[in-house]
Chains A and B, each alone.
Chain A
């Protein structure tokens, strides 16, 4: 029996890192085990160990003798924060990679880490961290000579410091585009971190490559006449690195579009003041971010990016002799799953960072509402949904899906789940080796981390899925189903067994005893299916699954603006971006410029069926901005990768940066962040319509950046 200290494995980690589970279908860096440098979040109020004592040693002969740690640039050194990003690796494994079972390696490394935390902090047992292990780092991107405190090479403080800073976290950042030059012809981008670029050797970022304003100006001076050459020479294009690739060689990228709307020169002749007083800090995430749209494995990169922007903003403030400078970050990214109560690791991390920094200067994080309103990825159950103490919902999984699919069932935090169980029924005609069923309680074999339990779905002995129950962050129960791709894939891994999940309608069921607790008043069971598409056309082969009511009575067709009560079980209200639920996050929906109506896909805040009408729950849409110019001119208009080129992007990703742009302008002008947005109320006379529009468009509206409609 292999030794496995499962202290870190949540349902995603277990599936994605499991050799005989989902690993063969994961991103190449995990599938092929090309790296020994791992990333993770530590979720604990224990103090961060001193990184200068980089390497810890266990007793000789322990399975893992050494672990080395690295922190990305942390704002305020990560003080007063609970959820923090870090990197870890086994120096012996770097020299001589031996273990190939990722689960074992990770478990043993984290066990060793725990031992040392306890040695350093007598109270560590109580504070015992939860870990979320993320995507590994390509060894070519790992900085050999890293010093977070060193001066950023080539950084030049401008004579007039910025009055506000816009931070943009995205993919494909065209940092040399002339639209980011100030009126003196120098770049406004003070710092730009490409997280997955090849490391130049020494650096002030733990992996990837950083470009300072001085370096960008030099690159433009040297190659500005030919931006293809510039990106090639600067290492922003590298076909040998799958996490970077040749994405920036495209005419436009998601990041090019978003950055231009947040911080580029004004478009279409709209008069705006020059933006010399607004600095730019940009972070380009690895392509792995878009590869797995489920939400797994990216938090460390995302959180490091936010810290980086704050940390570099602090350096700019220090150079200018001020305390902190107002910052607005646009992060046009999200996923559909998650708790949606602001208590996920990422939401908690965002909330505490914004809280801490707001004590010093205005600080905002602007994120899109999401594009899944119409996609049937959310359903809401209430006490009345139960019949004979069970409730079921259908999950349509599409054929030809080459990536894993995930469904999450979140039970109300206040519900006593004693005598509740979670069951899965495969599509008709498919039989599993054993009927999968788990009670909602932890398995005592997992004494550390969240209470949890797992069962594999097997056909002929081969795992084609996994069900799990876990008390996420110790506070809220989740039942989950993960499925393998729906077509046979030939995977080049030793001992790989060809296996695939059946497409068709899967059924998930919650069952309880007659004596089990009922759902409290106003409490709901919420279901989300994870995104499983390919927004940046990275050829992942994802196909989106969706929910379906088993007993389809008259339901609310979300594609039509019909204002019905009650809402159907499967609904767009509550489809909000799963990582934009922190109270302090600003959530942006999309509207159609010429009609003012919500864009059909624009995700909405939650509405539950109250006794007299819809009642909002959870985080809400705050602001809306243009995401389509008209029903037949889809998309927002931005700028492409190369100077002067144009870009169209459909989705709330393009709406969010327009709001960030107006907010940072207001802050630079010394006004309230929302001063440039128009308050809006809904007074149609139809209370249903008003409630729906409030949930979809929020209380503020950003005027279009373009004339006409």
Chain B
């Protein structure tokens, strides 16, 4: 399914460089290379052009003579200097593999632990069947907002990059690496979320309670944790750090509040749609901020992301309460969240290259993305 609205304008997200149709391709599910799939590639030639090119080659090649080819100079081996030469999807492969190689998932009883390098990102306890039934009530209650949120929900089936772009005034012409950083973060997060979903294997709410009657197709993977929550909160974590590095908006504080509110809203919209329990949002948001921290570590950037242990309880989801918990503040209710040590990760060339480019895309930079 094509991405609604994103194909033209922010379709450039995937299509960095404006390769036609990439935005559309990117919307195929939210896995694989996501918006990167095929991005930056020239694409297959149409048959007429393919034949035309060959006919031309045969007609003109003779003027270049028949001697030996000259010796080339080498590209630098294993160097981030080659990043810029690579098609977007190639860089995407590099980001993905650079991150995933250090992940480790382990399951012990009802607990799933996601490790990164030598530390932990999250430890999540599998919800009981009774909790799933109880949480279905929240999903039914949230259906009241379907009329309000329909357009958002439909346009956020894929990655909701346009919504982040709206707050930070991003445009492909001046923000191409920022958009690439967002997309890379989303793609990584989606992959990691699938690993955790697979381990925890929780039925979607509409399999528990037929009265939920979702307004969109229920995705073909488990409910817990929510990948939308994971992606939105990893992007939130990365963008808050990037905004700080930019230091170019006089209203950074307000933009930060809007980003937090947006991440919460994207997350809750999935409950409104009828495909996620609130506990999926807690698990996803916790996981997302941890992934965001690990990505920032890869970029060589300081961050405040925390390792989180989540033992789900029957509560609604509130993004601002998670923020407070991560900041070490006290909250009113027991949400089942325990905040641990800081997320640790080591710097890598590919992420550092991307971060350095994005960091130069501030709104006050004289040569954005240089």
Kindly provide the distance from the CB of B356 to the nearest chain A CB, expressed in whole angstroms: 33
Kindly provide the distance from the CB of B139 to the nearest chain A CB, expressed in whole angstroms: 11
**Are A246 and B141 also in contact (CB < 8 A) when A229-B318, A229-B320, A537-B147 are?**
yes
Kindly provide the distance from the CB of A601 to the nearest chain B CB, expressed in whole angstroms: 21
Interface residue A250 (Cβ < 8 Å from any Cβ of B): yes
Contacting pair B320 A245 (CB below 8 A):
no
Contacting pair A251 B148 (CB below 8 A):
yes
- State which size class the interface on B falls in: 10 to 19
CB-defined contacts of B129 to chain A, threshold 8 Å: none
Kindly provide the distance from the CB of A635 to the nearest chain B CB, expressed in whole angstroms: 15
CB-defined contacts of B145 to chain A, threshold 8 Å: 246, 249-250
Kindly provide the distance from the CB of A233 to the nearest chain B CB, expressed in whole angstroms: 8
Interface residue A685 (Cβ < 8 Å from any Cβ of B): no
The answer for the CA separation of A62 and B88 in the assembled complex, in Å, is 85
Contacts of B317-351 to chain A: CB distance below 8 A:
318, 320
Contacting pair A245 B144 (CB below 8 A):
yes
**Are A239 and B138 also in contact (CB < 8 A) when A225-B257, A226-B320 are?**
yes
Kindly provide the distance from the CB of A37 to the nearest chain B CB, expressed in whole angstroms: 24
CB-defined contacts of B142 to chain A, threshold 8 Å: 246
Contacts of A204-244 to chain B: CB distance below 8 A:
225-226, 229, 232, 239
CB-defined contacts of B80 to chain A, threshold 8 Å: none
The answer for the CA separation of A550 and B63 in the assembled complex, in Å, is 96
Contacting pair B144 A250 (CB below 8 A):
yes
Kindly provide the distance from the CB of B215 to the nearest chain A CB, expressed in whole angstroms: 14
Kindly provide the distance from the CB of B274 to the nearest chain A CB, expressed in whole angstroms: 15
The answer for the CA separation of A249 and B141 in the assembled complex, in Å, is 11
CB-defined contacts of A406 to chain B, threshold 8 Å: none
Interface residue A477 (Cβ < 8 Å from any Cβ of B): no
Kindly provide the distance from the CB of A90 to the nearest chain B CB, expressed in whole angstroms: 31
The answer for the CA separation of A251 and B269 in the assembled complex, in Å, is 13
CB-defined contacts of A245 to chain B, threshold 8 Å: 141, 144
Interface residue B357 (Cβ < 8 Å from any Cβ of A): no
Interface residue B261 (Cβ < 8 Å from any Cβ of A): yes
Interface residue A247 (Cβ < 8 Å from any Cβ of B): yes
The answer for the CA separation of A659 and B316 in the assembled complex, in Å, is 41
The answer for the CA separation of A249 and B318 in the assembled complex, in Å, is 13
CB-defined contacts of B137 to chain A, threshold 8 Å: 239
CB-defined contacts of A229 to chain B, threshold 8 Å: 318, 320
Q: Which residue of B lies closest to A225 (CB)?
A: B257
| Interface residues on chain A, number (Cβ under 8 Å) | 12
Kindly provide the distance from the CB of A57 to the nearest chain B CB, expressed in whole angstroms: 42
Q: Which residue of A lies closest to B321 (CB)?
A: A229
Kindly provide the distance from the CB of B167 to the nearest chain A CB, expressed in whole angstroms: 15
Q: Which residue of A lies closest to B257 (CB)?
A: A225
Contacting pair B261 A226 (CB below 8 A):
yes
Q: With a 10 A CB-CB cut-off, give which of B142, B144, B257, B320 has the most chain A CB atoms.
A: B144
Q: Which residue of B lies closest to A249 (CB)?
A: B145
The answer for the CA separation of A247 and B318 in the assembled complex, in Å, is 17
CB-defined contacts of B138 to chain A, threshold 8 Å: 239
Kindly provide the distance from the CB of B363 to the nearest chain A CB, expressed in whole angstroms: 23
Kindly provide the distance from the CB of B214 to the nearest chain A CB, expressed in whole angstroms: 16
CB-defined contacts of A247 to chain B, threshold 8 Å: 144
**Are A250 and B148 also in contact (CB < 8 A) when A225-B257, A226-B261, A229-B320 are?**
yes
The answer for the CA separation of A16 and B230 in the assembled complex, in Å, is 49
The answer for the CA separation of A246 and B320 in the assembled complex, in Å, is 18
Kindly provide the distance from the CB of A242 to the nearest chain B CB, expressed in whole angstroms: 10
Kindly provide the distance from the CB of A643 to the nearest chain B CB, expressed in whole angstroms: 13
Q: With a 10 A CB-CB cut-off, give which of B142, B147, B148 has the most chain A CB atoms.
A: B148
Contacts of B122-157 to chain A: CB distance below 8 A:
137-138, 141-142, 144-145, 147-148
Interface 0/1 of B76-115, CB less than 8 Å to A = 0000000000000000000000000000000000000000
The answer for the CA separation of A249 and B148 in the assembled complex, in Å, is 10
Kindly provide the distance from the CB of B333 to the nearest chain A CB, expressed in whole angstroms: 11
The answer for the CA separation of A226 and B264 in the assembled complex, in Å, is 12
Kindly provide the distance from the CB of B268 to the nearest chain A CB, expressed in whole angstroms: 9
Kindly provide the distance from the CB of A566 to the nearest chain B CB, expressed in whole angstroms: 43
Contacts of A247-269 to chain B: CB distance below 8 A:
247, 249-251
CB-defined contacts of A246 to chain B, threshold 8 Å: 141-142, 144-145
The answer for the CA separation of A462 and B257 in the assembled complex, in Å, is 59
Kindly provide the distance from the CB of B251 to the nearest chain A CB, expressed in whole angstroms: 13
Kindly provide the distance from the CB of B97 to the nearest chain A CB, expressed in whole angstroms: 39
Q: Which residue of A lies closest to B149 (CB)?
A: A251
Contacting pair A249 B261 (CB below 8 A):
no
Contacting pair A239 B141 (CB below 8 A):
yes
Kindly provide the distance from the CB of A247 to the nearest chain B CB, expressed in whole angstroms: 7
The answer for the CA separation of A490 and B194 in the assembled complex, in Å, is 41
CB-defined contacts of B261 to chain A, threshold 8 Å: 226
The answer for the CA separation of A225 and B261 in the assembled complex, in Å, is 10
Q: Which residue of B lies closest to A237 (CB)?
A: B316
Kindly provide the distance from the CB of A178 to the nearest chain B CB, expressed in whole angstroms: 15
The answer for the CA separation of A249 and B316 in the assembled complex, in Å, is 13
The answer for the CA separation of A79 and B318 in the assembled complex, in Å, is 48
Kindly provide the distance from the CB of A340 to the nearest chain B CB, expressed in whole angstroms: 34
CB-defined contacts of B147 to chain A, threshold 8 Å: 537
A-B pairs with lowest CB-CB distance, top 5: A239-B141, A251-B148, A250-B148, A229-B320, A246-B144
- In the complex, 9 of the A-B residue pairs with CB atoms within 8 angstroms, ordered by the A residue number, are A226-B261, A226-B320, A239-B138, A239-B141, A246-B142, A247-B144, A249-B145, A250-B144, A250-B148
Known: A229-B318, A246-B144, A247-B144. 11 other contacts (CB 8 A): A225-B257, A226-B320, A229-B320, A239-B138, A239-B141, A239-B316, A245-B141, A246-B142, A246-B145, A249-B145, A537-B147
